[in-house]
Amino acid sequence: MKHPFSRQLEEIPPSGIRAFFDLVLESNDPDIISLGVGEPDFDTPWPICEEAIRSIENGLTAYSSNQGLFELRKKIAETLEKKHACQLNPKTNILVTSGVSEGLDLIFRVLINPGDEVVVPTPCYVCYAALIRLLGGKVVEVDTSSTQFQVTADAIQSVITPKTKAIILCSPNNPTGTEITKLEMAKIVEMIKSKNLWCISDEIYTALSYDTPPVSLLDFPEIKSNWIVLNGFSKAYAMTGFRVGYMIADESVISRALKIHQYAALCAPITSQYAAIAALKQNKKVINQMNASYLERRNLCVSRFRAMGFELPTPTGAFYCFPNISTTGLNDTEFALALFQQFKVAVVPGSVFGAGGSGHIRCCYATGLNQLITALERIASFVTHLNTPK
């Protein structure tokens, strides 16, 4: 066999986040504190679990409709219409997916032909570039590190070519916790309209926005035939293992995504879909309590990292901070490895999130307060150790 495996796949490295998480698992040392994986540290609120259990007790364990339970799609439409200036038809504008991860995979497969360019502001979530390249698409990075990780319409505009097919945005952002302002989003929307591009918006962290109301493409109906909004239940409701999310888009997009989803996934797990309906019925208090706790931890991290002499923009959403550690003289991978080996704290090197992330580390603060305090003390000791003349 000359080429036993897909050439495009062979060129894609495994996820850098997982690489560090695997180090933690392999070492099997209970003293290690992981600020590595981006996962809420809360249990899924019990009423949501109860609804999942009830559905199993009632024998609701078959496939659902490919597109997702109509009751769930209706509830998603109602919830979003209350929050945003949009009108959604649950029959044609919504597809229930196995997490935002599947939504991303589907949308790139729907849109990309080999050679198409996709603009990706970096640092960004690790799967975007990998999935685009797998399809023969070209990733055009916009490095946001020189603008305090603010995505700007001007920076995007500067890389647009006749081959540009789509732009992907993520606000609040993983790994920086920064958000796109409403003003900047309006400029981006104008550009998308004038150039007739697709705009994919990964809004998985919109429920975790602390200082200002989060921006959503759903608030810009003037380009609704060009936008695709992806969201889900993993982060907002601490439901990462349920694997359920959704895609909102024009009927022309949903019908094509559904075609792939029918062949490749059949449907999202039905138990999780019942749990998702219960999640959308939860009192807002549930999310507010989790957010209040994240906010306390964010403030702690920001002040401690600044006290260590590291620059970082104040994260206004998600549960990450992204300090610049380049003043230590180590690159981000060296820093993360030495910190792990010598002080038993796992963080993710910023360069795994694209060119804009190099020289930084991502720390997920969705970890117990006491553990977080200990981890920050250990990082401070590591930095003192680095600064001590040998």
Per CB under 6 A, does 38 bind ligand PLP? yes
Instruction: Among 36, 99, 177, 359, indicate the residue that binds ligand PLP (CB under 6 A).
Output: 99
Binding range to ligand PLP, per CB under 6 A, among 48-56, 60-68, 97-105, 265-273: 97-105
**Pairing between β-strand 320-321 and β-strand 117-122 as defined by DSSP bridges:** unpaired
Per CB under 6 A, does 35 bind ligand PLP? no
Binding mask 241-260 for ligand PLP (x = CB under 6 A): ----x---------------
Q: Choose between 344 and 362: whose C-beta lies nearer to ligand PLP.
A: 362
| Sequence-ordered list of residues with C-beta below 8 angstroms from that of 158, at least 6 positions apart, any chain | 142
| Sequence-ordered list of residues with C-beta below 8 angstroms from that of 46, at least 6 positions apart, any chain | none
Nearest Cα neighbor of 99 from 217, 251, 259, 275 is 275
Per CB under 6 A, does 207 bind ligand PLP? no
Q: Choose between 275 and 383: whose C-beta lies nearer to ligand PLP.
A: 275
For residue 359, give both structure tokens.
């020289």
| Sequence-ordered list of residues with C-beta below 8 angstroms from that of 381, at least 6 positions apart, any chain | 343
Interacting residues with ligand PLP between 117 and 146 (CB under 6 A): 125
**Pairing between β-strand 227-232 and β-strand 245-249 as defined by DSSP bridges:** antiparallel
Give SS3 for 99. helix
Q: Measured at the alpha carbon of residue 89, what is the angle toward residues 83 and 91, in degrees to the nearest 5?
A: 135
Per CB under 6 A, does 375 bind ligand PLP? no
Q: How many residues comprise the chain?
A: 390
Tell me how far, at minimum, the Cβ of 206 lies from ligand PLP, in Å. Answer: 11
For residue 181, give both structure tokens.
């302002």
Instruction: Among 34, 93, 164, 174, indicate the residue that binds ligand PLP (CB under 6 A).
Output: 174
Q: Decide: 139 and 118 in contact? Cβ < 8 Å.
A: yes
Instruction: Among 100, 180, 192, 279, indicate the residue that binds ligand PLP (CB under 6 A).
Output: 100
Per CB under 6 A, does 232 bind ligand PLP? yes
Per CB under 6 A, does 41 bind ligand PLP? no
User: Which residue's CB comes closest to ligand PLP?
Assistant: 99
Report the C-alpha gap between 134 and 132 in whole angstroms.
Answer: 5
Binding range to ligand PLP, per CB under 6 A, among 95-103, 140-148, 215-223, 361-369: 95-103
Nearest Cα neighbor of 351 from 368, 336, 341 is 336
Q: Choose between 101 and 358: whose C-beta lies nearer to ligand PLP.
A: 101
Q: Choose between 27 and 240: whose C-beta lies nearer to ligand PLP.
A: 240
* Residue numbers at the binding site for ligand PLP (CB under 6 A): 38, 99-101, 125, 170, 174, 202, 204, 232, 234, 240, 245
